[in-house]
Amino acid sequence: MRPPMRSLSIALASALALTACSSGGDAEETTTGAAACAPSSGPVTLTYTTWIPGIENVVKLWNDKNPNIQVKVQTGPNGNGGTYANFFNQLKAGNAPDLGHIEYDALPSFRVQDGLTNLADCAEVTAAKDQFVDWTWGQVSFGEQNAVYGIPQDTGPMGLFYRKDLFEKNNIPVPTTWEEYAAAAEKVKAAGGYITNFSQSDISQFAGLSWQAGGRWFANDGTKWTVNFSDEATTKVANYWQDLITKKLVSAVPPWTTEWDNAYNTGQAWTWVSAVWGANSIKSGAPDTSGKWAVAPMPQWTAGGTVAGNWGGSSTAVFKGSKHPYEAAKFVLWLNTSEEALTALNKEAQLYPATKTGAKLPALSEGVEFYGGQKIYDVFATASTQVSPDFVWGPTMTDTYATASDGFKAVVSGTGTLADALKTAQTKTVATLKSQSIPVAE
């Protein structure tokens, strides 16, 4: 297993330039002993970099009970805001933290650059597989045998947030299929609103929608990557939203701006197909609409279907070069599976657990006042089990998101179509992969 990995990493390092070689030597040595996942002798201090707010309160629970495995938290901006770049620099310099927070869509980029420790040697890790929702394990193992490159932490199963009061007042049935959703869009427009806002720069949301429809953007057969943003399912989703945009049935405010908050706060936008964490976004972004929202399952492509998409979520990975993979794995398993830690993570940062039992946490079984007392997490608990397990992210997602988002922005201002924008993004992604010496099948 090792020699091919090494040659791959050297090929990639040449594209990375700088000092990868000089520091690579040390990292190799330290991982040789670590690969066996043996316990270290004596007390151990692990470093853990994450941007989860309030994480130190969660880690304190662990530190108080485990004097021999102390965890030191480091923090920073979110992954794409600079922390991923820092991880890569630290891997080059040979001083990466033991543990890092990596979102599912960024995990492959660390994998192809050989920055992660495979935890498949840790018996406790492989034994924990069944505790996690099936598709999350696919995200961290990339569908390979004997591969575990991170422990799933949180997920973003999707649902339909909608303005219950407005739908009832206007006698519009809550859509259960995408066809009904489009029909509802016409009625909402007639009532003076927009059914939703098309998030021009949230490509990961669009990925979630494609994921639900059966689109598969990337594949890796072990030697080569395949890139396809124009398969039948993705094109179906693209054409569907293109139609709503062309008919001006959706607004197109840039997401995560005050303007966007305002569209929800003032009742201009009536629904949002979003992930479980969106519950908090609406609550804080649209405080004046308290009690007026409800959550339904995501609309389906076939009537009576039960397929959900996922938007977001992250894993905790052990970096190459960590001297204590056994202790690191032990801590992460506690962090991402124990009821104590999951409850604390949910309380501090509204993380939605990736484990099967996590969905039954007391905090996730209660009615939520903002949503009229509805037990909204029941909807997401069901959705989480309906996410297809074989969606794979590419190794250059930041770049893919950027090019696709450029295209989508042009579309909402009237140039081109979503399907064309995706084709352009595909061409550019292939070019980026090649420029980084990552093998691509064409």
Partner 1 sequence: MKNVNRLAPTLVMGAATLYFLVPIWWLLVAASKSRGQFTNTAPLWFADFSLVDNLRELFAYRDGVFLRWMLNSVLYTGGAALLGTLLAAMCGYALAKYRFPGREAIFNVVLSGVLVPATALALPLFLIFSQFEATNTFWSVFLPSLVNPFGVYLARIYATASVPDELLEAARLDGSGEIRTFFTISTRLMFPALVTIFLFHFVAVWNNFLLPLIMLGEEKLFPVTLGLYSWNTQVNQIPELRMLVLTGALVSIVPLVIAFLILQRFWRNGLGSGAIK
Alpha carbon distance 34, 325 (integer Å): 6
DSSP 356-367: TGGGG-GGGSS-
The residue (of 85 and 431) whose beta carbon lies closer to partner 1 is: 85
Instruction: Identify the residue among 33, 39, 77, 192 touching partner 1 (CB under 8 A).
Output: 77
Q: Is 50 helix (H, G, I), strand (E, B) or coil?
A: coil
Q: In this structure, are strands 293-297 and 151-163 parallel, antiparallel, or unpaired?
A: antiparallel
Q: Is residue 350 close enough to count as binding partner 1 by CB under 8 A?
A: yes
Q: Is residue 385 close enough to count as binding partner 1 by CB under 8 A?
A: no
Report yes or no: 275 and 158 within 8 Å, Cβ to Cβ: yes
Chain centroid to CA 28: how far?
30
Alpha carbon distance 49, 60 (integer Å): 15
**Candidates 121-129, 179-187, 230-238, 280-288; binding stretch for partner 1 (CB under 8 A):** 280-288
Chain centroid to CA 246: how far?
29
Instruction: Identify the residue among 284, 302, 357, 435 touching partner 1 (CB under 8 A).
Output: 284
The answer to whether the Cα torsion of 415, 418, 420, 426 is positive or negative is positive
Which 7-36 residues touch partner 1, going by CB under 8 A?
18-19, 23
Instruction: Return the beta strands (E) in 340-420 as ranges.
Output: none
Instruction: Identify the residue among 54, 192, 291, 389 touching partner 1 (CB under 8 A).
Output: 54
Q: Is residue 233 close enough to count as binding partner 1 by CB under 8 A?
A: no
Q: Is residue 94 close enough to count as binding partner 1 by CB under 8 A?
A: yes
Look at the chain and count its residues.
442
**Candidates 89-97, 136-144, 322-330, 399-407; binding stretch for partner 1 (CB under 8 A):** 89-97
Q: Is residue 305 close enough to count as binding partner 1 by CB under 8 A?
A: no
**Candidates 273-281, 291-299, 331-339, 376-384; binding stretch for partner 1 (CB under 8 A):** 273-281
The gap between the terminal CA atoms of the chain, to the nearest Å, is 26
Q: Is residue 281 close enough to count as binding partner 1 by CB under 8 A?
A: yes
Contacts with partner 1, residue ranges (CB under 8 A): 18-19, 23, 47, 49, 51, 53-54, 74-78, 80-82, 85-86, 89-90, 92-95, 97, 256, 258, 261-262, 265-266, 277, 280-281, 284-285, 287-288, 349-350
